[in-house]
Structure 1
Amino acid sequence: MNHHVSDPNEAARSRAEQAPDPEIVDAEIEEPGGAALEPVRPPPPARLTHHPSSGGLVYEPIVRQVSHTEFQVCGRREVSGAIPWGFWGGVLLAFVAYFLITGTQGFWSIMDIAWAMVALTVGLVLFRFGKRSSRRLDVLCALDFEREMIVWPAATESASGVSQGSLGSGELVLNFEEIEEVVFAMIDYPLSQRKNDVDVHAFTLLVRDGEQRLIPVIEATPAKGAAHEIAKMIAGQLRLNISYVGNGF
């Protein structure tokens, strides 16, 4: 009697070839009508894109109309290192006015009058030509309803420095058809770039695209009402729903 000794590796390969592929098994599942079902895979988790770059809290968000088909979402942000000379000029004027009103009986010397006039002149110049705040009005993004896209500027630009002709030259462009959802959320956000250890409650407005990216329109703002009105405007124009997530919703 002849005995055949089989190779263990060959047996393993034979069993592997006979086993059905898991993807083929999924594809062969049929509905009652006979149509094959596609394998069901869970969607990838949404991720918050860091693009465009963080610029800090946004104050007084507004929508500004540039033309019949173009709108800009703008807001004020703190400018690091900026000194509001106009504000300090107003403080100096208030101090001089208080000094003139309460000290008229005690200063009649030429030097007192000279110092008061110098302070008054400096205060008027600072108040007239200086900035009243350390915040700058920036363009957060632009919506072009004619070309049906949202454009985020390549860098933080002043609202007065972005025109219709520059639309489309941004760092990030998203077509309306790629947007699947408008998201409005309450989050914890650093109070300032210099104080990352101090968080405050802020509201964020984002859009979700087909790649499950969450792209900020308004990264963070304490102005809940204004941000929500902008969210309703964008959702209404794009005919999308608003999802409320995060703290407080």
Structure 2
Amino acid sequence: MTPAQQLVFVTAVSRVDVLRERLLASPCIRERKRKLVAYFNVASAAEAFNAAMASVTSAGTWLVWVHQDVVLPEGWDERFLAALDEAQRTFPDLAVAGIYGMSGSTRAGHVLDRGNLLRESAALPCAVDSLDELLFAVRADSGLRLDPDLAFDFYGTDIVLQAQASGMRAAVVDAYCEHWSDTPAGTPIPPSMADRIVRSGRAFEAKWASRLPVHTSWLAVERPGDVERFIDSLR
């Protein structure tokens, strides 16, 4: 008998007030229906995610990476599990699942982002080449890990490309949630953030040079240097 699928959540915390107001207010977390592992002041998403993955031992577990500023509505966990089941029937080689991403240059997903409802026309579940980092899940037995060289940028796309390179699949599923990021949507962006994104972008471009072009939800990376050129335009 195949074991029932389980969810374990992991997040990186930079602001405890945001964590309390958003993610910890989500019913499935607040009521302790699902396990949440929180890491504070880490140097990269990989530092938190990979440590949490190393502690997962239960068969059928998906580790859900989620930002501290995400709110999961009532019943979200059960809807996500149902969406995972549907996606796995469609894509038996599924290893990564998120709620917003890119299939080539086409957007897919359903999320409230900073008060703006995004409901793309692509039918879900949808196989994708990139996932937004706000929330995605990785099958614990997939062997996939986040890349520490990418710090806090491009790792959602990187994990998808890793899966594809290993003969597995990533998909966006229909599991609406709310994302209340305070990251500026326009210009300018803080110098420290700009420098961080450029460093991560260089690492991403070098790692996947043979795979370009790659479209992310906020930037098309067609050739080396595109990330730095884009960020320089926002300084």
> What TM-score, normalized by structure 1, do the two folds share?
0.22
Larger radius of gyration: 1
> What TM-score, normalized by structure 2, do the two folds share?
0.22
Which structure features the higher share of strand residues?
Answer: 1
